[in-house]
Amino acid sequence: MTANAVLRAAGLRKEYGRGAALVRAVDGVDLDVAAGEAVAIVGASGCGKSTLLHLLGGLERASGGELSMAGERFDTMSETRLARLRRNAIGFVFQGFHLVDELTAAENVELPALLAGVSPRAARRRAADLLERVGLADRSRHLPSALSGGQRQRVAVARALVNRPLVVLADEPTGNLDSTATTDVLRLFDGLRRNGHTLVIVTHDSRIAATSDRLITMRDGAFVDETRLGGGARRLGSLAGLGG
């Protein structure tokens, strides 16, 4: 167990069906993620890594085990408290971006802050700062339809950071991107890691896995291997100033 774990899973299980049709999507996973650590979880399609991320983010309920954030259990929270935790403590980045088509880039980034009760003026300041940090200050008034895939994903990362979460969870963040956009997002995530953000990334892309501090391999719902990557990812360079 990690003394300064910000996110912890113990004996985590997620099962679907019953009897002969029982599927153990997540099967007894133990995971401690330290504050400021970047963890990549890799494995073949269908191994359970996206289901695991949804459990860690409170998007799905576990069948068994325990989950805690900053020492507080959340697997037993009410839906209201869990929704508040997701909004204030967890930033999500999805493969499909999940931006609101009718809102500009800036408005997409502002939205979670407004929902969390931040004043409109402060939300605008946070959005402008984050879009500048991800290199999209000049695209702040563009709708998602006017942005490339890589730009949309960078907006999604800025949105994930706007409420200053304890942990950012990313599900295949380069899955829908071409090689050029993937390189941009790789540098972005490496910059996040370098600036102390706590990250859990599930991916099949070895390049984005290489930006992490720790690499965990998953198979048939369970962890089967773990590697400390040390400083190998530092070759990618960082995105200057991407902190806070």
Tell which residue, 53, 85, 29, has the closest CA to residue 201. Answer: 53
Contact 133, 61 (CB under 8 A): no
Q: What is the pLDDT of residue 2?
A: 58
Q: What is the pLDDT of residue 222?
A: 96
The secondary structure of the chain, three-state, reads CCCCEEEEEEEEEEEECCHHHCEEEEEEEEEEEECCCEEEEECCCCCCHHHHHHHHCCCCCCCEEEEEECCEECCCCCHHHHHHHHHHHEEEEECCCCCCCCCCHHHHHHHHHHHCCCCHHHHHHHHHHHHHHCCCHHHCCCCHHHCCHHHHHHHHHHHHHCCCCCEEEEECCCCCCCHHHHHHHHHHHHHHHHCCCCEEEEECCHHHHCCCCEEEEEECCEEEEEEECCCHHHHHCCCCCCCC
Contact 7, 200 (CB under 8 A): yes
d(CA 75, CA 33) in angstroms, rounded, equals: 17
Q: What is the pLDDT of residue 230?
A: 63
Tell which residue, 82, 80, 19, 81, has the closest CA to residue 55. Answer: 82
Q: What is the pLDDT of residue 3?
A: 58
**CB atoms closer than 10 angstroms to residue 113:** 23
d(CA 12, CA 67) in angstroms, rounded, equals: 8
Per-residue pLDDT of the chain (244 residues; tens, 9 = 90+): 555 799 999 999 999 988 888 899 999 999 999 999 999 999 988 899 999 999 999 999 999 999 999 999 999 999 999 999 999 999 999 988 999 999 999 999 999 999 999 999 999 999 999 999 999 999 999 999 999 999 999 999 999 999 999 999 999 998 888 888 888 888 888 888 888 899 999 998 888 888 889 999 999 999 999 999 864 433 333 333 333 3
Maximum separation of any 2 CA atoms in the chain, in Å:
56
Q: What is the pLDDT of residue 38?
A: 93
pTM of the model: 0.88
d(CA 19, CA 29) in angstroms, rounded, equals: 22
Q: What is the pLDDT of residue 178?
A: 86
Q: What is the pLDDT of residue 168?
A: 95
Q: What is the pLDDT of residue 190?
A: 85
C-alpha distance from residue 206 to each of 41, 60, 215 (Å): 10, 27, 10
Q: Which domains does the chain have, with CATH numbers?
A: 5-96+167-234 (3.40.50.300)
**CB atoms closer than 10 angstroms to residue 93:** 25
